[in-house]
């Protein structure tokens, strides 16, 4: 069952960031480059009326910035396993796309790009492109990154599917044929969901020295998520949450994001390391000496320029053949917002925040 930790004595404050007016506004603010390149929005993962009843603010990286705002501005924080996993997948995708040729033998046996097509007898206006993305992943037979948590919804599966095909976009061509202290932290799901995420890191470590270092930094952070279920009042657990995020610097110079949240900012959107450090071979003694199950010293020594916090979503081009008429489209999926809610006994209004995941699909301009 979910667990709630009281991580600070001060009361929560109300959320002040403006809510988006609707899906078009969320797309424009969270995916500005995609919005500039788009002719029209043709699909998304949000239910009709969702934005009328929910206070959602746009964010280019919903997980990283939700943790930062919760810590810095005293909001309760609510997290699902998917929020963390999708952020890891976005980072993974940036690395794979940037190193596609050297990693090709680990993912595919063919050269160049293989054409994959999923067909539907529905029209462009009625088809569920999220379901078609899921069908695309079945053709690829790469299911290790798909979420399988007790909290996973059909929308989550579609988000993960788009993240997956985005990671593999250098190997395939895709076509759809239509025929500051946080007052409290709540972790949704079961303990086993969060423990499962730790086991998934083993696959990352097999993809090279950089992914192995990424997994090495993630492991103690994810293990502390699991420990939050075991003893939510333990001093070590409360200390972990007190070190999640901070902003340093300022004035006329740059500001930096610090804390263990910086681990989720390992690669830029073009697959380059964001923090200068020596990447050691996994077989080296130096790499082994860095191994830790719960120690956070390495994570806390990192800092990321706030202007370089990576996107929390992935984009992938898809050709849509609608009864012989071809459309150049792009699917976008990941952590694209922050939702504010109120706890039942809260007196500060919208005092709790949670990352929002979802997907968009748009037709490109000519």
Mean pLDDT of all residues in 319-346: 86
Cβ(155)–Cβ(43) below 8 Å: no
Mean pLDDT of all residues in 29-38: 93
Q: What is the DSSP string of 245-285?
A: -EEEE-TTS-EEEESGGGGG--B-TTS-BSS------TTSH
The answer for residues whose C-beta is within 8 angstroms of residue 87's C-beta and 6 or more apart is: 61, 63, 64, 264, 312, 334, 335
Q: Between 358 and 98, where is the model more confident?
A: 358
- Predicted confidence at residue 130, as pLDDT, reads 78
Mean pLDDT of all residues in 350-356: 93
Q: What is the band of 143 on the pLDDT scale with cuts at 50, 70, 90?
A: very low
- Least confident span in 55-64, 295-304, 338-347: 338-347
The mean of the pLDDT values for the chain is: 86
pTM comes to 0.85
Mean pLDDT of all residues in 222-250: 90
Whether residue 179 is predicted with pLDDT greater than 70 in this model: the reply is no
- Predicted confidence at residue 101, as pLDDT, reads 74
- Domains contained in the chain, number: 1
Query: What are 107-140's pLDDT values in tens digits?
Result: 666 677 777 777 776 667 777 777 777 777 766 6
Q: State the number of CA atoms in the 13 A half-sphere of 102 facing the CB.
A: 8
- Predicted confidence at residue 213, as pLDDT, reads 95
* Cα(218)–Cα(222) distance, integer angstroms: 6
Whether residue 163 is predicted with pLDDT greater than 60 in this model: the reply is yes
Q: Structural domain of residue 85, as residue ranges?
A: 3-364
- Predicted confidence at residue 176, as pLDDT, reads 61
* Cα(267)–Cα(135) distance, integer angstroms: 29
Whether residue 346 is predicted with pLDDT greater than 60 in this model: the reply is no
Whether residue 232 is predicted with pLDDT greater than 80 in this model: the reply is yes
- Predicted confidence at residue 146, as pLDDT, reads 66
């Amino acid at each position: 069952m979910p667990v709630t930790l009281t991580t600070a004595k001060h009361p929560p404050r109300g959320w002040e960031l403006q809510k988006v007016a609707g899906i078009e506004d969320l797309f424009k603010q969270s995916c500005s480059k995609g919005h500039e390149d788009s002719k029209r929005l043709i699909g998304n993962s949000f239910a009709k009326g969702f934005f009328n009843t929910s206070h959602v603010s746009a964010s280019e990286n919903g997980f990283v910035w939700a943790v930062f705002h919760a810590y810095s501005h005293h909001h309760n924080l609510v997290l699902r396993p998917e929020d963390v996993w999708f952020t890891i997948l976005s980072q993974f995708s940036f690395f794979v796309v940037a190193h596609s040729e050297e990693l090709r033998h680990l993912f595919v046996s063919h050269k160049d790009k293989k054409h994959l097509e999923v067909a539907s007898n529905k029209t462009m206006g009625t088809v569920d492109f999220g379901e078609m993305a899921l069908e695309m992943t079945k053709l690829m037979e790469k299911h290790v990154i798909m979420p399988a948590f007790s909290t996973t919804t059909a929308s989550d599966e579609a988000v993960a599917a788009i993240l997956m095909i985005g990671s593999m976009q250098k190997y395939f061509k895709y076509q759809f044929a239509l025929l500051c202290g946080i007052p409290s932290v709540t972790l949704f799901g079961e303990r086993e969901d969060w423990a499962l995420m730790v086991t998934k890191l083993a696959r990352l470590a097999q993809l090279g020295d950089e992914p192995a270092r990424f997994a090495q930094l993630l492991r103690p952070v994810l293990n502390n998520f699991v420990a939050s279920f075991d003893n939510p009042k333990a001093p070590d657990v409360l200390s972990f949450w007190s070190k999640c995020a901070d902003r340093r610097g300022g004035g006329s110079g740059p500001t930096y994001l610090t804390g263990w949240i910086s681990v989720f900012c390992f690669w830029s959107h073009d697959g380059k390391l964001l923090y200068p450090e020596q990447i050691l071979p996994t077989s080296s003694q130096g790499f082994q000496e860095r191994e830790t199950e719960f120690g956070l010293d390495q994570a806390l020594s990192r800092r990321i320029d706030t202007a370089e916090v990576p996107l929390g979503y992935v984009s992938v081009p898809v050709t849509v053949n609608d009864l012989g008429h071809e459309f150049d489209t792009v699917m976008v999926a990941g952590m694209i917002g922050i939702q504010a809610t109120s706890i039942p006994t809260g007196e500060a209004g919208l005092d709790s925040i949670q990352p929002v995941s979802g997907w968009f699909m748009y037709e490109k301009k000519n």
